[in-house]
Structure 1
Amino acid sequence: MSSPKEIVLNAWKIFSSRDAERIAALFTDDAEWIAPKGNATAVALDHTDHMVGPHQIARFIAQEMHKMFSNIDIAFRGVYADGDVVIVEERMRATLAGGKPYENDYCFVFTVAGDRIRQVREYMDTRKGWRMVFEQEA
Structure 2
Amino acid sequence: MTIEQRKQNAVKMLHASARGDADAVRELINDDFQFRFMQQADSWSADGEEMSAALDKENYLAYGVPVAKQITRDGMHFTEELILADGDYIVVFGHSNAVSLKGQPYNNNYCWRMRFSGDRISELYEYCDTHLAHEVLFG
Per the TM superposition, whether the score is higher than 0.5 is yes
**Percent of counterpart pairs with the same letter?**
22
- 1:69 corresponds, among 68, 72, 76, to 72
Task: Summarize deviations over 1:52-110 as a string: whole Å, max 9, x none.
Answer: 12x32223354232110123322211111111100011110211112222111010100
- 1:123 corresponds, among 99, 121, 127, to 127
Q: Displacement, 1:17?
A: 5.7
In structure 1, list runs of 5 or more residues that go unmatched: none
TM-score (norm 2): 0.80
Aligned match of 1:109: 113
| Counterpart mapping for 1:1-138 below 5 A | 1-3=1-3, 4-15=6-17, 18-35=20-37, 36-38=39-41, 42-45=44-47, 46=49, 47-53=51-57, 55-60=58-63, 62-71=65-74, 72-133=76-137
**8 Å CA contact retained: 1:90, 1:105:** yes
In structure 2, list runs of 5 or more residues that go unmatched: none
Matches of 2:105 and 2:59, distance apart in 1: 27
Task: Summarize deviations over 1:12-68 as a string: whole Å, max 9, x none.
Answer: 34435643222112111111000024499x423432211112x32223354232110
Q: Cα RMSD (Å) of the superposition? A: 2.4
TM-score (norm 1): 0.80
Q: Residue 67 of structure 1 aligns to which amino acid in structure 2? A: Q
For the structure 1 residues 124 and 95, does the alpha-carbon distance in structure 2 shift closer, same or farther, using more than 3 Å as the test? Answer: same
**8 Å CA contact retained: 1:2, 1:115:** no
What number of residue pairs does the alignment pair up? 133
Matches of 2:18 and 2:95, distance apart in 1: 15
